[in-house]
């Protein structure tokens, strides 16, 4: 009887361990899952970091790819689905957030790219008018899904119709990885995984 009870307890413990998430990386108190499923494919957390503005932590950002990458070119050229996940660490107005995103996209695009993406940039800009204020703990995901496009969600709710061009997704990634990133201390964290 005692052996049977021990076996039941061991089975229960193993069952609970199997149900627990595999791992999560914690950055500045925010946990990011080690994996994500996008477009039916399993992705891994390549790297993550914290966006800081005037000493304040604004959000944690993680980039998910088919495998870990450590250069901008590798991330922008990564095949298959991709994801960025952004977890807010403070309240920010939709206007301020949108202005920061749009300003950084414009700084990192060439003139011909701006012309090419004009319709997608308009839709992306309009999206921030409907978002409203972002609260601490809000989660924004941006997925590149081959055959569908760029899919953006706030707390699981779609923000805009899919945006088709894969190069536009790269334009979004350049907010953080471009030559003029929105936060110069975040870019190396997204490449090396080392946090300041």
Q: CA angle, corner 13, sides to 7 and 19, nearest 5?
A: 135
Q: CA angle, corner 26, sides to 93 and 32, nearest 5?
A: 65
Cβ neighbour number for residue 157 with a 10 Å cutoff:
7
Three-state DSSP state, 109: coil
Q: In the chain, which ranges are E strands?
A: 24-27, 30-33, 35-38, 41-53, 56-65, 82-88, 139-145, 149-154, 157-158
Contact 195, 76 (CB under 8 A): no
**pTM for the full predicted model:** 0.84
Give the integer Cα–Cα distance in Å for 33 and 22: 8
Q: Count CA atoms closer than 13 A to 183's CA, side-chain side.
A: 23
Contact 62, 48 (CB under 8 A): yes
85 - beta bridge partners? 62, 141
pLDDT for the residue 129: 78
Flag residues of the chain having pLDDT under 70.
Answer: 1-23, 194-196
CATH numbers and ranges of domains, the chain: 22-192 (3.50.70.10)
* Predicted confidence (pLDDT) per residue in 98-132, tens digit: 888 899 999 999 999 989 998 898 888 888 878 88
């Amino acid at each position: 009887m005692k052996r049977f009870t021990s076996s039941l307890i061991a089975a229960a413990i193993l069952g609970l361990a199997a149900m627990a998430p595999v791992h999560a990386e914690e950055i500045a108190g925010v946990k990011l899952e080690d994996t994500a499923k996008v477009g039916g494919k399993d992705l891994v957390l390549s790297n993550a970091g914290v966006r800081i503005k005037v000493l304040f932590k604004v959000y944690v950002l993680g980039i998910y790819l088919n495998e870990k990458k450590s250069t901008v070119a590798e991330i922008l050229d990564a095949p298959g689905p991709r994801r960025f996940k952004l977890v807010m660490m403070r309240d920010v107005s939709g206007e301020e957030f949108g202005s920061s995103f749009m300003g950084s996209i414009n700084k990192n695009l060439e003139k011909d790219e701006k012309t090419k993406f004009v319709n997608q940039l308009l839709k992306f800009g309009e999206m921030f008018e409907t978002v409203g204020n972002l609260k601490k703990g809000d989660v924004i995901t941006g997925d590149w899904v081959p055959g569908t496009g760029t899919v953006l969600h706030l707390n699981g709710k779609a923000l805009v119709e899919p945006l088709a061009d894969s190069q536009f997704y790269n334009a979004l990634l350049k907010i953080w990885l471009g030559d003029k990133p929105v936060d110069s201390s975040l870019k190396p964290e997204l490449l090396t995984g080392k946090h300041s």
